[in-house]
Amino acid sequence: MTAVRAPRRTTPVRGERGAGTLEYVGATILAGFLVLGLLVSPAGGAARDAFTEAVCSVVERDGCTVPGHGETPLDQATSGEYVALGDSYSSGEGAWDYEEGTDYDDRVDLWPYNDHEEDRNRCHRSAHAYSQVVTGNNEFAGGSSFVACSGAVADHLDNPNHDNTGEDPQYDALSDETSLVTMTMGGNDLGFADVVTDCIINGQRGVGPNTCQAKHDQRIEDELTRLHDELVDRYREIKEKAPNARVIIVGYPPLFVTDPSDNYGNLLFAEDQVWMNEVAGDLNALLAAAAQEAGVEFVDPTQAFDGHGIGSDDPWINDLDLGGPGFAIANPSSFHPNAAGHAAIADLVQQQLEDPRYP
């Protein structure tokens, strides 16, 4: 059996010290001077407000509010419209109960040359997607807009999604009235669906040297750097188009348990499952670093999914389903969170809404 390399770390993850530490050191120094002012000032209440505002200006965090002014981080997030952007992990692919008009394909004939004349939309926006759970658990003053689409890539944020009829640029949903944006995006840009397919076809103990790991490992490492820069720009664009919104980036859960065995149900060797979990970890580290650089929030579902991956007694991820729609061999719901998984992610987003933590 080929040895599995140790998990790699390419970018910082939540909790590590970095640029954020300098912000808080600056805030602490400023606080010291302001506390001295409070001790000698008779206007204690006004001084306390000035103190908080000054610290907030140093830390520059969305959730920083002045005590007594009435607005909590949750109040801010729910004061306008909630817009849910993203790919299949945002849309709810695999959680079923899809919106009307997001689960059809008129290309039912065998003649491939007229596909451009036929409508299809498989964005698979689910009523059980984490954004819809969040919508149901809160009252958004401006309502909500759900434009995430299965298969979407970063280019579909500011360009129409021509693979799905009627899908305008996702950015079109953003405005000055937007108070909350959530998004999971990046897996398709990294070509993760191809990784899974290639590992099913030719895993680490497969035939010949061109196994899925050999084929994709270096490519992914190279792509991570490019993707980081692109996502920083995308996050900043979201802030520009929705200047009054809190922006929460949601990461990807690990697909498999941490100690998998060969699973001939999903046709994957144990070492390929471990490697794919590592890739998901690398992608989450990148998303966290990009979020920090762009000044937006990040939620990592990795820890919450511990013990709930494929191969567990209570999986929150769908295993391989060979009953695909139309002529597809596998159902696109394969290797995506089920309704329970989306409920767990929604809980994490809710915690972030109420008690913001930053990457």
The pLDDT, as a whole number, for residue 66 is 43
Q: What dihedral do alpha carbons 152, 156, 161, 162 form, nearest 10°?
A: -110
The pLDDT, as a whole number, for residue 1 is 39
How many C-beta atoms surround the C-beta of residue 110 within 10 A? 6
Instruction: Kindly give, in sequence order, each residue whose CB lies less than 8 Å from that of residue 6, ignoring residues fewer than 6 positions away.
Output: none
| pLDDT (tens place) for every residue of the chain, 359 residues total | 333 333 343 433 333 333 443 343 344 333 443 333 333 333 444 444 444 444 444 444 444 544 434 699 999 999 999 999 999 999 999 999 999 999 998 876 656 666 666 899 999 999 999 999 999 999 999 999 999 999 999 999 999 999 999 999 999 999 999 999 999 999 999 999 999 999 999 999 988 788 999 999 999 999 999 999 999 999 999 999 999 999 999 999 999 999 999 987 889 999 999 999 999 999 999 999 999 999 999 999 999 999 999 999 999 999 999 866 655 567 899 999 999 999 999 999 999 999 999 87
Instruction: Kindly give, in sequence order, each residue whose CB lies less than 8 Å from that of residue 206, ignoring residues fewer than 6 positions away.
Output: 212
The pLDDT, as a whole number, for residue 209 is 84
Report the amino acid identity of residue 110. L
Contact between 150 and 91 under an 8 Å Cβ cutoff? The reply is: yes
How many C-beta atoms surround the C-beta of residue 321 within 10 A? 15
Q: What is the CATH architecture of 71-354?
A: 3-Layer(aba) Sandwich (3.40)
The pLDDT, as a whole number, for residue 13 is 37
Six-digit token string for 274: 């471990």
The pLDDT, as a whole number, for residue 330 is 74
CA 275 to CA 103: how far, in whole Å?
A: 32
Domain ranges of the chain: 10-60, 71-354
The pLDDT, as a whole number, for residue 117 is 66
The pLDDT, as a whole number, for residue 263 is 84
Which stretches of the chain are DSSP H helices?
19-40, 44-59, 73-78, 88-91, 130-137, 192-201, 212-241, 270-294, 339-354
Six-digit token string for 144: 């909500």
Contact between 7 and 280 under an 8 Å Cβ cutoff? The reply is: no
